[in-house]
Amino acid sequence: MRHEAIQNPTPKNPVARVVIIGAGFAGLEVAKALGKAGIAATVVDRRNYHLFQPLLYQVATAALAATDIAEPIRKILRPYPSVQVLFAEVVGIDAAARKIRLSDGKSLGYDYLVLAAGSRTSYFGNDKWGSLALGLKSIEDSRRIRSELLRAFENAERASDPAEQDRLMSVAIIGGGPTGVELAGSIAELSRFTLARDFRRIRPQDARIMLIEGGPRLLPGFSRKLADYARARLQKLGVIVETNQTVDYIGEKEFGFAGKKIPVGLVIWAAGVGPSPLGRMIGSPTDRAGRVVVGPNLQVSGQSEIFALGDIAYLEDEDGKALPGLAQVAKQQGIHLGRGLADLIIEGKPIQPFRYRSRGNTAIVGRHAAIFETGRFSLKGWFAWLAWAVIHVYLLVGFQHRVIVTTQWLWRYLTYERGARVIAFDDLDHRGSRTKIDADPTASL
Amino acid sequence: MRHEAIQNPTPKNPVARVVIIGAGFAGLEVAKALGKAGIAATVVDRRNYHLFQPLLYQVATAALAATDIAEPIRKILRPYPSVQVLFAEVVGIDAAARKIRLSDGKSLGYDYLVLAAGSRTSYFGNDKWGSLALGLKSIEDSRRIRSELLRAFENAERASDPAEQDRLMSVAIIGGGPTGVELAGSIAELSRFTLARDFRRIRPQDARIMLIEGGPRLLPGFSRKLADYARARLQKLGVIVETNQTVDYIGEKEFGFAGKKIPVGLVIWAAGVGPSPLGRMIGSPTDRAGRVVVGPNLQVSGQSEIFALGDIAYLEDEDGKALPGLAQVAKQQGIHLGRGLADLIIEGKPIQPFRYRSRGNTAIVGRHAAIFETGRFSLKGWFAWLAWAVIHVYLLVGFQHRVIVTTQWLWRYLTYERGARVIAFDDLDHRGSRTKIDADPTASL
């Protein structure tokens, strides 16, 4: 009776019930492959959309609308009648009973469980920073950064004290990986090119954009040469880049490293992510961060009916190096596992070992400036920038989104405008109040 | 010293300081006209964007992104150096001292005050309904309706009790004016065409869309013939239209009229708006709703330096009928007052009486079905629908928005898709919890 609401539909091949947790890059590919094979599968996600996370920073910097990078999961899986979508949150996994528990008290049985719940912002034990340094992993996060960022400039325009204006126009981005670099470049361009024309009292082009990295250089996933190029380009945009600096203090109006306290209007946390806590719920070994250790066939050690992949899984390549938390890793694993699981269920064939084939690594710094690297081949500057844009449009799910994003980008390229400069009250004040103003959103103007 | 932060910039003509409250259709036109004449003016708004309210219902029904219909005020007024924008909330008006008070404690002096603060959702004394029946006047409102509406269908898909499924898939729209009609048509099409293809257990096309009007017919602003056409088209889409019915009860899971209680998943309030409360703060006569009574030159009676226009003003036409709360009324008044005020300030010329010239009235019911009326000429059906779309795209502020909206509409027309089907946690639970689910947005999947 409990399962009444969530039974799988009659599948073409009712041999096994597969439950997939998460409709990110990994989970969706598994679902599509099973759907193609007519196998009954249920995708459980607490969002109703698949999010194209690589472009989240563009929502945070007013270049795209949030809905431009979100595609309804149901729409993506519409062609597969054997696949069902469940909008629900998983709160527990009972591996012994082969059941997952949902937050509404219901539970859902499985024959095979695919754990693809991804990662989330991690403050590495400094959880109190969650209210002071905004992460960027969700639509809500991106809207929040956008609203806080734009409000900081508005508040600076109203402020009478020059020191307070300078503080409000100071943005600290903690973490010099791709997200940090992309945010820093995009915020710098927003202030120097777009906002610069619109204020009368402040000079948005003088905003202090600070990028703070704990390691010796930016972009540790790229070669030294490309990282140096990115740093030089950021500095040319006016970004202050600090490496070898560990932030040890974040307060309401300042943050600190190396004994200094620096006034700041907005702090963004791009220093790291950690796996979903579901990884720890199956009672199998994890790495220190909580990623589930899987074998080459993506099977969880000791639990033959559970698979993990994407950001929640820990898998080493042939050289003993952990695979990175990239969309392309998740996607390739999803395709591999989906096909393998279909063959396992239908024909009893064992799942083959997964091999990651890097399609190259790319990051964007700003206009005409991106980097791309694959093996020994690398590319930077104008052409890499164009390639970055084409690749990202191509990878977007949904033709409509491709058209809209291309249009917005062309427009932005030609005019230096950003179309999504909206401060929405619902986005504000959920965390912290560093740039809070006194406006009461419930009162009418 | 108090005014330090908000002094007007040096104008070409520093004869008078004009403060404009509100950057809606009325306030913006005044600011542009003053800007063209080089007169110092400050536009105060608690939003950083001008909102194209006529298309809000399309955001609420997942057809457009919220940012598609919002244009930054600063960008619109960029060409006018004498015009300054202040992102602030007005909490008081001291007409005797010629000052407005802002929520941050500062105040701003004026020589002329232009009150264009618009209207907001009014529950006509039933303020407790505010948490139960969602209004549609802001971006936040439209996102909230979108998220609640989509979540109701998701919850219905999960529900095991057929009666509960039916309840969740019941939407009541209170108020049969243009907003109510447009919402009813758009929600009906969303459920019948778009969502119908995406669910496995429920049949979204069976959703009960109810439109409840207190008066004897829909669309009292239009002729009987066109209102009857709209009703027939809505009924063809499956909308249940009830006229002469006054809703007297709204609860968490049901609403009532005529002694009946009807289970419902979402209630939307389209029954009316009232003026901003600022109208009552200047100590001049208002009508019962609180709209400031103005003379033909838009001057507030007894206060020669205060003008009111748009939804916050009460003005009768030559026949003694109050001008309606329409965008075109506000816009024409804004143009008239802006030019008149410039002539008054520069040349001392008195402001001429305003005359409203109706450009015709239009509303949309659904695909290929709109109505248009001007004087004795009226139009309905396919051609009116096309005209409606062309007019609305043309009236959008910003070329980029025109391109994006056109693209989205074409796509939607060809595919029956809606691109903005996002349930965002920040949009939910701010008011009421009728369709609340148990998902905890802070926990990770």
pLDDT at A426: 85
How far is Cα A209 from Cα B57, in angstroms, rounded to an integer? 38
A261 and A153 in one domain?
A: yes
A376 and A228 in one domain?
A: yes
Asked whether residue A435 is domain-assigned, the answer is: no
Asked whether residue A342 is domain-assigned, the answer is: yes
Top residue of A164, A200, A201, A445 to mutate, by most chain B CBs within 10 Å, is: A445
- Which residues constitute the domain of residue A157? 127-271+361-423
Asked whether residue A380 is domain-assigned, the answer is: yes
Please check the confidence at residue A12 and state whether its pLDDT lies above 80.
no
In chain B the first and final C-alpha atoms are separated, in Å, by 53
pLDDT at B429: 59
Which of B131, B128, B108 lies closest to B44, judged by CA? B108
pLDDT at B398: 81
How far is Cα A375 from Cα A377, in angstroms, rounded to an integer? 6
What is the pLDDT confidence band of residue A376, given thresholds at 50, 70 and 90? confident
CB pair distance less than 8 Å for B403 and A407: yes
Asked whether residue B40 is domain-assigned, the answer is: yes
Sequence-ordered list of residues with C-beta below 8 angstroms from that of A195, at least 6 positions apart, any chain: A153, A204
Helix/strand/coil (H/E/C) assignment for every residue in B90-152: EEEEECCCCEEEECCCCEEECCEEEECCCEEECCCCCHHHHHCCECCCCHHHHHHHHHHHHHH
List of chain B residues whose C-beta atoms are within 8 Å of the C-beta of residue A122: none
Q: What is the CATH number of the domain that holds A287?
A: 3.50.50.60
A237 and A329 in one domain?
A: no
Q: How many CB atoms lie within 10 A of CB B339?
A: 18
Asked whether residue B441 is domain-assigned, the answer is: no
Q: Smallest CA–CA separation between B162 and chain A, in Å?
A: 10
CB pair distance less than 8 Å for B90 and A445: yes
B279 and B255 in one domain?
A: no
CB pair distance less than 8 Å for A90 and B160: no
How far is Cα A151 from Cα B23, in angstroms, rounded to an integer? 17
B134 and B108 in one domain?
A: no
Q: Which of A21, A403, A423 faces B445 most closely, judged by CB atoms?
A: A21
A214 and A163 in one domain?
A: yes
For the record, the structure tokens of B20 come out as: 């404009």
Please check the confidence at residue A375 and state whether its pLDDT lies above 90.
no
B147 and B231 in one domain?
A: yes
Please check the confidence at residue A354 and state whether its pLDDT lies above 80.
yes
Q: What is the ipTM of this complex?
A: 0.90
Which of A34, A39, A45 lies closest to A339, judged by CA? A34
List of chain B residues whose C-beta atoms are within 8 Å of the C-beta of residue A21: 445
* pLDDT of chain B, 445 residues: tens digit per residue: 333 334 444 444 456 899 999 999 999 999 999 999 999 999 999 999 999 999 999 999 999 999 999 999 999 999 999 999 999 999 999 999 999 999 989 999 999 999 999 999 999 889 899 989 999 999 999 999 999 999 999 999 999 899 999 999 999 999 999 999 999 999 999 999 999 999 999 999 999 999 999 999 999 999 999 999 999 999 999 999 999 999 999 999 999 999 999 999 999 999 999 999 999 999 999 999 999 999 999 999 889 999 999 999 999 998 999 999 999 999 999 999 999 999 999 999 999 999 999 999 999 999 999 999 998 899 999 999 999 999 999 888 888 889 888 988 988 888 888 888 999 988 885 443 334 443 333 333 3
Catalytic residue among B29, B182, B189, B373: B182
pLDDT at A429: 59
What is the pLDDT confidence band of residue A412, given thresholds at 50, 70 and 90? confident
Q: A156-194: per-residue pLDDT in tens?
A: 999 989 999 999 999 999 999 999 999 999 999 999 999
Q: Smallest CA–CA separation between A178 and chain B, in Å?
A: 23
A107 and A47 in one domain?
A: yes
Q: Which residues pair with A260 in a beta bridge?
A: A257
CB pair distance less than 8 Å for B404 and A408: yes
Q: Which of B45, B89, B154 faces A443 most closely, judged by CB atoms?
A: B89
Q: Which of B85, B104, B140 faces A424 most closely, judged by CB atoms?
A: B140
List of chain B residues whose C-beta atoms are within 8 Å of the C-beta of residue A197: 78
- Cα A77 from chain centre: 21
pLDDT at B306: 98
What is the pLDDT confidence band of residue A16, given thresholds at 50, 70 and 90? confident
Q: How many CB atoms lie within 10 A of CB B164?
A: 17
Please check the confidence at residue A442 and state whether its pLDDT lies above 70.
no
Please check the confidence at residue A123 and state whether its pLDDT lies above 90.
yes
Q: Smallest CA–CA separation between B356 and chain A, in Å?
A: 25
Please check the confidence at residue A405 and state whether its pLDDT lies above 60.
yes
List of chain A residues whose C-beta atoms are within 8 Å of the C-beta of residue B159: 5
Sequence-ordered list of residues with C-beta below 8 angstroms from that of A395, at least 6 positions apart, any chain: A52, A54, A327
In this structure, are residues B315 and B354 in contact, taking their beta carbons and an 8 Å threshold?
yes
Name the domain count of chain B: 2
User: In the predicted model, what is the mean pLDDT of chain A?
Assistant: 91
- Most distant CA pair in chain B, distance: 73
Sequence-ordered list of residues with C-beta below 8 angstroms from that of A118, at least 6 positions apart, any chain: A22, A24, A26, A275, A276, A310, A311, A312, A330, B445
Query: At how many degrees (to 10) do helices A399-415 and B399-415 cross?
Result: 170
Asked whether residue A437 is domain-assigned, the answer is: no
A258 and A145 in one domain?
A: yes
Question: B347, B379, B413: which is the final residue of a domain?
Answer: B347
- B347 counts as catalytic: no
Please check the confidence at residue A379 and state whether its pLDDT lies above 80.
yes
Residue B14 φ then ψ, to 5°: -85, 25
* Least confident segment among A35-49, A86-100, B224-238, B390-404: B390-404
Residues in chain A: 445
A369 and A338 in one domain?
A: no
Q: Smallest CA–CA separation between A292 and chain B, in Å?
A: 15
Sequence-ordered list of residues with C-beta below 8 angstroms from that of B304, at least 6 positions apart, any chain: none
A148 and A223 in one domain?
A: yes
Q: What is the CATH number of the domain that holds A235?
A: 3.50.50.100
Top residue of B47, B48, B67 to mutate, by most chain A CBs within 10 Å, is: B67
CB pair distance less than 8 Å for B74 and A415: no
Residue of B nearest to A404 (CA): B404
Amino acid at B221: G
Asked whether residue A440 is domain-assigned, the answer is: no
Asked whether residue A378 is domain-assigned, the answer is: yes
CB pair distance less than 8 Å for B143 and A199: no
What is the pLDDT confidence band of residue A403, given thresholds at 50, 70 and 90? confident
In this structure, are residues A57 and A180 in contact, taking their beta carbons and an 8 Å threshold?
no
Q: How many CB atoms lie within 10 A of CB B319?
A: 5
Amino acid at B279: G
**Long-range CB contacts (within 8 A, 24+) of A101-104:** A102/A6, A102/A44, A103/B437, A103/B438, A103/B439, A103/B440, A103/B443, A104/B158, A104/B437, A104/B438
B238 and B160 in one domain?
A: yes
Q: Smallest CA–CA separation between B303 and chain A, in Å?
A: 21
In this structure, are residues B205 and B191 in contact, taking their beta carbons and an 8 Å threshold?
yes
